[in-house]
Amino acid sequence: MNKSGHYQRKVRKQQLLNTIRQQRQLLSAYGQNWLEVTQPYDKGWQALAAFKPYVAIGSGLALLYGLRHPKAFYRWSRRMISILGVVKIVRNTLYKN
């Protein structure tokens, strides 16, 4: 084994280690950026998850009411959908301006 080949391998190894170190730093920076970007979605999801038991109870009660009074349940569901549509239109109009 000659000294020139050994030196070349040593230099190549150092270059590869430097490349790996730079990639790790970039990955860490991108990871922090990803966490910052997705933070509002995570908070929203956690807020929805906090209401999980209430949604389960409410949906069970709505199901029972719907089974007992199907016409009234249908009427209330149509009203709720129309109210949500109006809220969406108002929200879109306000956020456009």
pLDDT at position 3: 79
Is 62 within 8 Å of 73 (Cβ atoms)? Answer: yes
pLDDT at residue 88 in the model:
93
**CA angle centred on 48, ends 43 and 52, rounded to 5°:** 140
Can you read off the two tokens belonging to residue 35? 């966490």
Say what the pLDDT of residue 50 is.
Answer: 92
DSSP 51: T
Q: What is the pLDDT of residues 43-63, one digit of tens each?
A: 988 988 999 999 899 999 989
- Residue ranges per domain, the chain? 1-50, 52-97
Helix (H, G, I), strand (E, B) or coil at 1: coil
User: What's the distance, CA 10 to chain centroid?
Assistant: 45
Alpha-carbon span 63 to 76, nearest angstrom? 13
- Alpha-carbon span 14 to 18, nearest angstrom: 6
Q: What is the pLDDT along the chain (97 residues), one digit of tens a residue?
A: 577 888 999 999 999 999 999 999 999 999 999 999 999 999 988 988 999 999 899 999 989 988 999 999 999 999 999 999 999 999 998 887 6
Task: Specify the DSSP class assigned to residue 97.
Answer: -
